Amino acid sequence: MVRNSKTPIFSAILVSLAFSLGGTAQAFASAPQLVAIERSALIAEIERNCVERKLVDRIPSLVATFERRMTDNAQIEKTYQEIREMLAAASSVTSVQERAQLAAEVIEQAACPLNIDQGRHNTCAFAALEARTYTLYPCAAAALVKQVALTGRYITGGNDEIEVDAKNVHPDGEAMLHGYGSRSFASQLFQITAANVYWQRQDKDPNGIKCGRGDIRYIQKAGISCFRGDTGERLEIHRASDVVETVVDQVGTPMFEPCVALTEVQDVGTVLAQVPQKMFVIASKKFNKQQKYLPVKSMEDLRRKLSDCQSGSAMPLVVAVDLRRGWLANEPMMRRVTANMGSNQQTSRFPQGRLSNDVSNSRWHAVCITAYNLENDTVSIDNFWGPHADHVGDNAIPVSELYAAIALTD
């Protein structure tokens, strides 16, 4: 068994006792000792199930990083437990190799939430929510991945059964080759499930057309060309007698994204964390007056809200930003498409206030604000286009640049 060299001898003894005597030994253990028990048990389970030595060798370093970052021992212990149970399951809809990949990725993302990306998918809003969930409630993210990996379903705290398309519970081409800036298998499961947590609890599609609660599904089709922004993402209505309708926009084009609003991101975040949360979504006061979020009225108002959220431990925040303005307009990805987007043209195919990362069709994107430096008047931004697009620490951006991307001036 691989054991962290810092684990006390008493904790090592408890590892053996806890799993031979059930909960007896655990009842007498302190919170740090319970973390040590679960850590050792998890590493042992990974060694039993993973054939890739490089992956196994990375785990001690990742758990050390996770435990330095996360100060809540209960969150750490439960995160390890969820991953271990996923690996140890006797049966599941995913293979042992797929679950080993998931285990490593969940640990990595719990240790370094900045590594989360959306890849070639229009899931910026749920990538932002995923980064926030891994930062504050990593055991909730691990529980979601475990449930979907084992059963293909996710059960909410309200006992809603969310079904994930059978083809989407296995790694897509991007997840199989997971590398720099691409989306991991664990993120694939989280983002697809999160979109379905919203839509499978609704009785109207994005166009306001009524359907049965639970009939709307968000799926990702394989083998679809990304030409003209088609990533294979679809909203479908599954009606009786196996009739399936694809949700389309006003001109009959399929919606190549989850098509969610700020308020809906807040709702899904609360459902997944299963605890009440302060408002964590922020946008211009003009973004959509019918939605509830933290409205930004001016640059000074933005500074006040950032300061309040920083001191109130509400970070990370999910923020709606204009792809054509502020620091985003100078990102390499955006320079390639700016010529096709009018400086004052609302190009979104969707109702005002819905988020997208289809840069050819929408001006709105979601990122996370992870920190505010009052002294330097800068904000750290976690974007989901790969590490090169993040602006954190010494690479943080001025608040004025963030405000320029938030403010609606046209």
What's the pLDDT tens digit per position in 300-326?
999 999 999 988 778 999 999 988 888
Q: Are strands 364-373 and 378-382 parallel, antiparallel or unpaired?
A: antiparallel
Are 128 and 265 contacting, i.e. CB atoms less than 8 angstroms apart?
yes
Backbone angles phi, psi at 191, to 5 degrees: -70, -40
pLDDT of residue 327: 86
- 279 and 395 part of one domain: yes
pLDDT of residue 409: 59
**DSSP letter (8 states) at residue 204:** B
pLDDT of residue 355: 54
Q: Which of 170, 198, 226 is the last residue of a domain?
A: 198
- 143 and 205 part of one domain: no
CA 38 to chain CA centroid, nearest Å: 24
- Based on C-alpha coordinates, what's the Rg of the chain? 22
Q: How many domains does the chain have?
A: 3
C-alpha 157/C-alpha 137 separation (Å) is 15
User: Is the pTM above the cut of 0.75?
Assistant: yes
pLDDT of residue 223: 64
Nearest 5°: CA angle at 199, between 195 and 200?
A: 110
pLDDT of residue 359: 38
Asked whether residue 323 is assigned to any structural domain, the reply reads: yes
- 156 and 17 part of one domain: yes
Helix (H, G, I), strand (E, B) or coil at 216: strand
pLDDT of residue 226: 54
User: Residue 208, Cβ neighbours under 10 Å: how many?
Assistant: 7
pLDDT of residue 362: 58
C-alpha 99/C-alpha 169 separation (Å) is 11
- 88 and 142 part of one domain: yes
pLDDT of residue 347: 36
pLDDT of residue 313: 76
Q: Which of 149, 152, 172 is nearest to 161 (CA)?
A: 152
Q: Taking the C-alpha atoms of 396, 399, 404 and 406 in order, what is their torsion angle to the nearest 10 degrees?
A: 90
User: Residue 267, Cβ neighbours under 10 Å: how many?
Assistant: 17
Helix (H, G, I), strand (E, B) or coil at 234: strand
Strand partners, 369: 317, 381
pLDDT of residue 376: 95
pLDDT of residue 24: 47
pLDDT of residue 261: 85
Q: Taking the C-alpha atoms of 191, 197, 198 and 203 in order, what is their torsion angle to the nearest 10 degrees?
A: 140
- 184 and 207 part of one domain: no
Half-sphere exposure of 89 (CA within 13 A, CB side): 23
Are 343 and 355 contacting, i.e. CB atoms less than 8 angstroms apart?
no
Task: Give the domain extent around 222.
Answer: 199-246
Question: Roughly what angle, to the nearest 10 degrees, separates helices 124-136 and 138-151?
Answer: 120
Asked whether residue 253 is assigned to any structural domain, the reply reads: no
Helix (H, G, I), strand (E, B) or coil at 20: helix
Asked whether residue 252 is assigned to any structural domain, the reply reads: no
pLDDT of residue 4: 43
- 346 and 396 part of one domain: yes
Tokens of 236: 């479908």
Residue ranges in 70-203 assigned as alpha helix (H): 73-88, 96-111, 124-136, 138-151, 173-176, 185-199
Backbone angles phi, psi at 307, to 5 degrees: -65, -45
pLDDT of residue 8: 38
CA 308 to chain CA centroid, nearest Å: 24
Strand partners, 318: 281, 368
- 28 and 173 part of one domain: yes
Q: Which of 198, 228, 254 is the last residue of a domain?
A: 198
- 57 and 204 part of one domain: no
Asked whether residue 373 is assigned to any structural domain, the reply reads: yes
C-alpha 135/C-alpha 373 separation (Å) is 19
C-alpha 357/C-alpha 3 separation (Å) is 43
- 235 and 303 part of one domain: no
* Ranges of residues in the chain whose predicted pLDDT is under 70: 1-29, 223-229, 332-362, 409-410
Helix (H, G, I), strand (E, B) or coil at 392: coil
DSSP codes joined into one string, 250-317: TTS-B--S--EEHHHHHHHHHHHHTS-----EEEETTS-TTS-SEEE-SHHHHHHHHHHHHHTT-PSE
Residue ranges in 179-240 assigned as alpha helix (H): 185-199
